[in-house]
Amino acid sequence: MGERLRVADVERVPTERLVELITESFDNLVTVAIAEAVHGRFLPPRTGRLLRKAEWRLDWQDALLCAGGELQVATERMRYTGDPRLEATEHRLSRVRHRAHEAAVLVKKLRRNDFHNSRERKSGTNSHLTAQGWLRLAFPDEYAELVRHERDRRRLSDFAEPPAFRDVHDEIAYAVGEGRLSAPRSPAVDALLSAADTAVRLAAADDAKDQEERDMALRHPLMLKRWENALRELGEMAAARARAETPHALGTLPDDFRALSEAEAVAVLNARRFLAAVQQRRMECKRYVRQLTQALRERALENPYTLAASEAKAAADRLLLEEHPAEYAFIRAELRVHEEYAGRLPLSLVSSPGRAEIKRRVLGALADGSWLCSTLPEAR
């Protein structure tokens, strides 16, 4: 076991050493997160900057969620027993919750930036690509025939086409089998993969109870679906014992809690502590799935079939535009009044009801022929 930090120690630890300590121990990360939340103004500014860096932001959020659950149950226990430390612990809980909200906002910003920088989002702000997409919708049969021709010309039938997937976990399993995701299997992973659901649930429960340790077999790409299911079941089972209204949040204790016997109260508080740990693990599991999904999206762009299929669609787009230049010009003219500058639509329009209305109107005009009236010289 490495060095264990205390909240009071954090301000005296050099940043380089702090990085080492929180890298090797989740408990240390929780301690630093609490110290920064409660005593942030007395700590070196570099500590706060470290936790908010993109590479630490998700772990910081995990640590704050863990700390918040532990502190909430601690305050509930102190209130029940009349512990004089209650006021100080409630203050610490309040500060941790405040920081957890801030971390959630920053994590959402990180994901939003990734989304805005994605190819799909950039396509939505490009007037030319948007007009091409709407032209395809206006002439679906013609476009489908052009795509078929271009696929045949590129002999795409010679490529192994990726199968359809029921969910992201099927896609992950396929990627592992094809070697697109490197995921070596240890004996512990093999044992869990062949284990019954009850055994996986027990492994997930043991993992949640010890926040410091991590059962890496549960975090293997092929185990994520079963781990996620086990955590959901554990949350549902613990919620009733924890007197929680939902498996997704502890909420407040019922009014009759203080009337319980000591043994009953301890059982409820222990269940709440466990439920809080399960909630943190569920967030962690979702994070692993998102990271793998992002990696698969990036690697799909390197797949020979994906590249050839993309080229076929791009060629079909060009041919369709050559066949219908006037219709394309009409769509661009309708979009032009909404552009921020030449060829660029605002992000605010990409997924708004306003865009859907423009699209409905444009496609309707192309379908009934009324678009011709707006392009006639005398109509201008």
pLDDT digits (tens, 9 = 90+) for 320-346: 999 999 999 999 999 998 888 888 888
Q: What is the pLDDT of residue 117?
A: 58
Q: What is the pLDDT of residue 360?
A: 93
Residue 299 has pLDDT above 70, yes or no: yes
pTM: 0.70
Strands (E) in the chain, as ranges, are: none
Give the rounded percent of residues in the chain with a pLDDT score beyond 70. Answer: 93
Distances (CA, A) of 89 to 32, 38, 77, 122, 305: 16, 10, 11, 47, 58
Which amino acid is present at 318? Answer: R
Instruction: Please enumerate in sequence order all residues whose Cβ is within 8 A of that of 132, keeping only pairs 6 or more positions apart, or say none.
Output: 317, 320, 321, 328
Q: What is the pLDDT of residue 114?
A: 62
Whether residue 174 contacts residue 162, with contact meaning beta carbons closer than 8 Å, is answered with yes
Most confident of 22-26, 173-177, 213-217, 225-229: 225-229
Residue 352 has pLDDT above 80, yes or no: no
Q: What's the average model confidence in pLDDT over 221-241?
A: 96
Q: What is the pLDDT of residue 380?
A: 38
Per the DSSP assignment, residues forming a β-bridge with 344 are 126, 341
Question: What DSSP character marks residue 264?
Answer: H
